Structure 1
Amino acid sequence: MDVQIQIEDNENIHASGDVISGQIHIFCAQATTISKLTVNLIGESTSSLTGAPGLLFSRREGEKHVFVREEHLIVPSVRSARADRLEPIRLAVGCHSFDFALRVPWVQDCSSCPPNSPIECASEFEATWSGRSSGQQLPPSTKDLQKGTEVTYRVDAIVTTLRNMFKSRITKSSPLTIWPVDKITTHDDTKPSLSSAIATARATILGPGSLPLPPHRLANDIRGLGPAEIIISATFPPEFGFTKSCPDGASLQDTRKVALNLSVTRLNDHPQDMYLQSFQMLLVGYTDIRAGATTHGQMSFWTLQSLSNIGLQVFESSDASGTQHHIDPNLWSDVELDESVVPDFSTCNLVRRYELEILMGWQCRSGEHAGRVFFVQVRTPVRISSGLSPGRLRAKGEAGLLKDDTQPSQSLRHEEPRVMHRVSYAPPTYDEAVRASVRPV
């Protein structure tokens, strides 16, 4: 017997609230009795670390948590079952198909394996449920975090067959990519709100005629001009530092942008023009891993933008103190995030968070004379959003793509015409072909 899983629209990213539908195809080489057929949506968070060294070797610590488990019972069918008991079904030789539908939940609920238990216990669901709802949104599917550390989703088809009072079970799995839905989807990048995250940095820029002034000297010291003073302000939206606007069917890499408002304020009068000469943007990801009594922190870096010799004039010599200018957003409008930059999340044993670092090189000029380039750094925590809005469910429902997952699977009576139709076109088995080739004497 061969079991295959066919999931509709599996090449795209699924999100919280989506209905994952498809078919289970079972090919029987001989008449087979099925006592149970279930389809499960599984979400797991796995971590593995090397613990403290022992007498002979370092022990490997591991954790596996199941935070999503949704089940669809196909056989025995509730519709066709008798009132007193649930009956198995018998499948003839050939190919049989069964529909299923599973809804992705909105929040996670962690369970963990008992101590000193085999790691397979999570797939067997012999785990002890914590009994509490974390209330946190689902973590995204991840990869390349660290060897043995990942967040995965899959659809499991479990077929239990009955033969001569002995039961056997076949399990097939198909991986899924699931991301959470954004909590906040609308914001104005140019208007900071009360809850916006604002990072500031104050800098002193020396011009071509400027010299470092002793503390007891005045700004108009005869040894040279006083330095120009500026304050840089980076304003981020209340919830998410990055947004990914992903229409249905579009890939994440095609429509992502950085939501940032960068402004510079002049703090004193200065008879020289000020230029922005370089602009770098670095994203730092922190992954906190826990496995048993062992914890570990891992850092990842992504260079989002690196520009030099820009020569962008921000202030003129005639600008008064208190003048504010906004940096052209075209400097970072074409930033593309790597697919490994998943939304920040927190599970039972894994935490992913981010910080954004902006490094700018400033220079004062007077005619053909230019001073040194001084670098100013702004660094602040940011949140990474998925770009999947709650409105996508409504749009899919209006398009007729959303199925009702509360409808039970079709009973055997409804499957019989289709099953018999597929049997007539199924290829013969080896035994059937041998019997057909042997002619009676």
Structure 2
Amino acid sequence: MSIRIALDNQPEFYTNLDNLAGRVVLHLSRPEQIGGIIVKLEGESKTALGLPQNYDDRTHPRLPPGGGPGSIASENHKILYRVAQVFPTYEEDLGGGSSSMSGSYVIQGGQHEFPFKFKLPINNACSDPVAMSKIGGIGGMGGFGAGIGPFGLGGARVMDGSKQLFLQHVTKTLPPSFTGFPRQAEVRYYLKVTIQRPGFLKENWRYQIGFKFMPIEPPRPPKTSQEAYARRPFTFKPRPQGLQKKKSSLFGSGKDDSAPSNGDAVPPSIELSARLPHPSILTCNQPLPLRLIAKKLIPSHEQVFLTSIQIELIGKTHVRCHDLFNTEVSRWVVVTQTGLNVPLLDDPTSDDLTHESIIPDDLWRNIPLPNTVAPSFVACNLQRHYELDIQLGLCWGKPPSTRTFLGSNKENPAAQSIFLPLHFSKVQVYSGIAPPPQLLEALAAQANRPSAATMSLPPRLPPRTSQSAPITHTMGRGQQQRPQAPQQPHPPAAAAPQYDPLYPPQMGTPGAAAFDDAPPSYDEALAAGATGPEERPAYSGVTNENAPSQIPEKS
């Protein structure tokens, strides 16, 4: 006997709205009695944290009982859960292929294929309490006792969805496959197949494979001229009076050039700013849309040079396990260059303090983000967001390019160097997978559809139809004016009655306002027949889809 899952046209990774299709290939060396074949599409977001030494049950009421200081608490969210029965199908069940009242079937020896097909959703499933409450126990397709016969339990073991109701959830786009923090956090996606074998002494056959997942990015805002910036002014110190240039070598006599070391020169004062398009969005496997701009603060005629640059992307992963929290910091060096000699100012002799000099972007224009950077995401128990850190080395005067064997600067011993940090505290990293056009059109149609919630008219309150209650001033004017309604020149339905705001609207009463439309969700906005994106970049992130889980269970 052998089992394997063969995926049709398997890409490097899957994304939202993709059709995940394949076949369960079963090879039997002899006839076997089979109760059913179940395929499950699952995704899990797992976290685990150790209880601190000062742990107290009263300060962490959400932690499960039974653990003490030093033990491990874990939290598992079923962010994706789909079940399909590929054998017996509805037609096979009606065909009377069952060998007995137990509902089992005899499959002859040889190779057999059972096709399946799933469509990956957009949002996580664990946040839907109705869907989770319908899943649980041991049964056919989500119930207890289905398929029980003389040969034992013929049902499939499914997830107990009621356990998800006790956890904190958010409704977000499915997170990407995520590993890299052993025994602490991971997000995995996989396919499971279970072949049910009726009988108390027969064990079910199981097999599973993992796959990579990257989500589609949210709809990008329209491009504007707005920019987010991180800027910092700097000023060099005045040079000492009478500073003379030294000899360029031990025996040579360098020419006397006192201009660079003139003590009367006004020290330059410049404001340097780093700018990103607003909102600050980076894209996986693409270069930074960064601009560096220098501007004079005082009318100095001195030039300043860029001697080094280092750009780091900082990823902060927030891990939550019940009431325990931890933050892991990761760093990626995107650009690092030293020994540069790039002038900052276009015209250092100009006295225009409003002129902005743009530094050439050749240093980072063709360097993409590292392919281990996962897109930003928010899950129920796991979050990842990014920051951007820029370190610039600046020099007043021509920076030294060579040194003598005695260690002195050959060109300008009076050059001053400083290091300037620039920091973006919040940037987003998108996957680069654009939503399909059908989805964008559906979202636009949902946003432009008029509803009662968007109208400027205030909601009308219902009249009080009870005649037993006494009329008071707090009950509003609707009942006091009702006997005089026939004397009005206009029909009563044309007038908007006023009612007591302390009472909510009641359905079914004359003049009562209908319920407002619920705001559209991402899933409701899907166009009919929307398919996954056709073009997608290379995968970006750290994951081993078929490695065993490294998250410890509760200890």
Tell me the TM-score range normalised by the shorter chain.
0.7 to 0.9
Structure-2 separation of matches of 1:166 and 1:300: 50
Using a 3 Å threshold, how does the CA distance of structure 1 residues 207 and 41 change in structure 2: closer, same or farther?
farther
Aligned ranges 1:48-63 → 2 under 5 Å: 48-53=48-53, 58-63=70-75
SS in structure 2 of the partner of residue 58 of structure 1: coil
User: Aligned pair in 2 of structure 1 residues 167, 366: CA closer, same or farther (>3 Å)?
Assistant: closer
Deviation (angstroms), 1:262: 2.6
1:412 matched to which residue of 2? none
Q: TM-score, normalised by structure 2?
A: 0.59
Range 261-270 or range 100-109, more displaced: 261-270
State which drifts further: 54-63 or 305-314. 54-63
CA distance in 1: counterparts of 2:273 and 2:417, whole angstroms: 19
- The answer to whether the 8 A contact 2:274-2:293 is kept is yes
| Cα separation, 1, equivalents of 2:184 and 2:240 | 58
TM-aligned CA distance change 1:184 to 1:145, over 3 Å: farther
Q: 1:318–1:61: structure 2 CA closer, same or farther, 3 Å change rule? A: same
Match of 1:175 among 206, 210, 233: 210
Corresponding position of 1:349? 381
- The question of 1:125 aligning with 2:169 is answered no
Equivalent runs, 1:273-292 vs 2, <5 Å: 273-292=303-322
Aligned residues of 2:52 and 2:69 also touching (Cα < 8 A)? no
What's the secondary structure of 1:179's corresponding residue? coil
Aligned residues: 366
Of 212, 237, 242, the match for 2:277:
237
Matched to 2:428, the amino acid is R
Partner of 2:191: 155
Residues 196 and 204 in structure 2, CA contact (< 8 A), matched pair in contact too: yes
Q: Would the alpha carbon gap of residues 366 and 69 (structure 1) be closer, same or farther in structure 2, given more than 3 Å must change?
A: closer
Q: CA deviation at 1:38?
A: 2.0
* Partner deviation per Cα, 1:243-298 (whole Å, 9 max, x = no partner): 13xxxxxxxxxx53222233222222111112111111111111111223322111
Q: Contact conserved, 2:310 with 2:392, CA < 8 A, in 1?
A: yes
Distance 1:366 1:262, change over 3 A: closer
Shift of 1:9: 3.9
- Whether the 8 Å contact between 2:87 and 2:114 is mirrored in structure 1 is no
CA distance in 1, matches of 2:531, 2:344: 44
CA distance in 2, matches of 1:81, 1:374: 79
The aligned counterpart of 1:66 is 78
Letter of the structure 1 residue corresponding to residue 274 of structure 2: A
Select between 79-88 and 135-144 the one with higher mean Cα deviation: 79-88
Between stretches 137-146 and 46-55, larger displacement belongs to: 46-55
1:202 is aligned to 2:233: yes
Say yes or no: does 1:313 pair with 2:343.
yes
Contact 1:285 1:353 in 2 (8 A): yes
Q: Would the alpha carbon gap of residues 130 and 101 (structure 1) be closer, same or farther in structure 2, given more than 3 Å must change? A: same
Question: 1:102 corresponds to which residue?
Answer: 118
Contact 1:34 1:162 (C-alpha < 8 Å) held by counterparts: yes
Q: Deviations over 1:188-220 (max 9, x none)?
A: 6xx633xx4322222223465699xxxxxxxxx
CA contact (8 A) 1:258 1:332 kept: yes
Secondary structure of the 1:178 match is: coil
Which residue pairs with 1:382 in the alignment? 427
Alpha-carbon distance in 2 for matches of 1:133, 1:259: 34
TM superposition shift of 1:104:
1.2
AA of the residue aligned to 1:76: P
1:85-96 superposed matches below 5 A: 88-96=104-112
1:342 to 1:154, Cα distance in 2 relative to 1, 3 A: same
The correspondence of residues 110-121 of structure 1 with structure 2, limited to 5 A, is 110=126
Distance across 2 between alignment mates of 1:397 and 1:232: 40
Q: Distance in 2 between matches of 1:2 and 1:16?
A: 31
Q: 1:9 to 1:227 in 2, by over 3 A?
A: farther
Tell me the residue number matched to 1:326.
358
Q: 1:306: how far off? A: 1.2
In 2, the alpha carbon distance for the partners of 1:262 and 1:79 equals 67
Alignment of 1:6-45 (within 5 A): 6-10=6-10, 12-45=12-45
Is the 2:267–2:302 contact (alpha carbons within 8 Å) kept by the matching residues of 1? no
For residue 3 of structure 1, what is the amino acid of its counterpart?
A: I
User: Following the alignment from structure 1 to structure 2, what is the Cα–Cα distance between the partners of residues 146 and 31?
Assistant: 43
Match runs of 1:213-292 below 5 Å: 224-239=264-279, 241-244=281-284, 255-292=285-322
> Which residue of the other structure, out of 173, 193, 201, is the alignment partner of 1:137?
173
Instruction: For 2:7 and 2:185, locate their aligned partners in 1 and report how far apart those are by CA, in whole Å.
Output: 26
CA distance in structure 2 between the partners assigned to 1:177 and 1:40 by the alignment: 16
Shift of 1:4: 0.8
Aligned to 2:495: none
Higher relative contact order (CA 8 A, sep 6+): 1
- The one-letter code of the counterpart of 2:34 is I
Report the secondary structure of 1:317's partner residue: coil
- Aligned pair in 2 of structure 1 residues 134, 396: CA closer, same or farther (>3 Å)? closer
Q: Give the SS at the match of 1:6.
A: strand
| Higher radius of gyration, 1 or 2 | 2
Higher share in strand: 1
- For 1:28, the aligned partner's letter is L
For 1:30, give the aligned amino acid. Answer: R
Q: CA separation of 1:395/1:68 partners in 2, compared to 1, >3 Å: closer, same or farther?
A: closer
CA displacement, residues 94-119 of structure 1 (integer Å, 9 cap, x when unaligned): 110111111111111336999xxxxx
CA distance in structure 2 between the aligned counterparts of 1:256 and 1:186, rounded to whole angstroms:
18
1:317, CA displacement in angstroms?
1.9
Counterpart secondary structure, 1:342: coil
Contact residue 39 and residue 191 of structure 2 kept, 8 A? yes
1:19 to partner: Cα distance:
1.0
1:209–1:124 Cα change, 3 Å: farther
Question: What residue in structure 2 maps to residue 214 of structure 1?
Answer: none
Q: Does the C-alpha gap of structure 1 residues 395 and 19 become closer, same or farther in structure 2, counting only changes over 3 Å?
A: closer
Contact (CA 8 Å) 1:141, 1:152: kept in 2 or not? yes
Per-residue CA shift, 1:358-395, capped at 9, x if unaligned? 01112222796553111111111211111112249989
Would you say 1:77 and 2:108 are equivalent positions?
no
Q: Offset of 1:185 from its aligned partner?
A: 5.3
Report if the CA contact (8 A) 1:268-1:322 is conserved: no
Please state whether the residue corresponding to 2:362 is helix, strand or coil: helix
Checking the alignment, whether the CA contact within 8 Å between 1:210 and 1:226 is kept in structure 2 is no
Q: Structure 1 residues 124 and 199 mapped into 2: Cα distance closer, same or farther (>3 Å)?
A: farther
Q: Which amino acid aligns with 1:44?
A: E
